[in-house]
Chains A and B, each alone.
Chain A
Amino acid sequence: MVRFENVGLRYGMGPEVLRDLTFSIEPRSFQFLTGPSGAGKTSLLRLLFLSIRPTRGLITLFGHDVARLSKDAFATLRRRIGVVFQDFRLLDHMTTYENVALPFRVQGRDEDSYRNEVIELLQWVGLGDKLSALPPVLSGGEKQRAAIARAVIARPQLLLADEPTGNVDPELAQRLLRLFIELHKSGTSIVIATHDVALMDQFDAPRLVLDEGRMRQYRFVHDYD
Chain B
Amino acid sequence: MSDERPPHDLRDTMLAEASLAHGLTRTWRTPAGLLGALSTVDHKIIGRRYIATAFVFLALGGILGLLMRWQLARPEARVIGPDLYNQIFTVHGTNMMFLFAVPVMEAFAVYLVPLMVGTRNIAFPRLNAFSYWVYLAGGILLWVAFILDTGPDVGWFAYVPLSGPQYAAGKRADIWAQMITFTEISALAVAVEIVVTVLKQRAPGMSLNRVPLFVWSMLVTSFVIILAMPAVMVASTALILDRLVGTHFFNPAEGGDVLLWQHLFWFFGHPEVYIIFIPAVGMISSMLPTFCRRPIFGYLPLVLAVVGTGILAFGLWVHHMFTTGLPRMGESFFTASSMAIAVPNGIQIFCWLATIWYGRPVLKTPMLMILAFFFTFIPGGLTGVMVASVPLDTQVHDTYFVVAHFHYVLVGGAVFPLIGAVYYWYPKFVGRMMSERIGRWVAGLLLVGFNLTFFPMHILGLQGMTRRIYAYPEEMGWGGMNLFVSLSAVVLAAGFLLFFIDVFRAARHGPEAGENPWGAATLEWATASPPPPYNFARIPVVRSANPLWDSPDSLPVATGLRVDRRELLVTSVTEARPEAREASPSDSIWPLIAAICTCSMLLASIFTPWAVVWGMIPVAAALTAWFWPKGSPEEEA
Say whether A and B bind each other: no
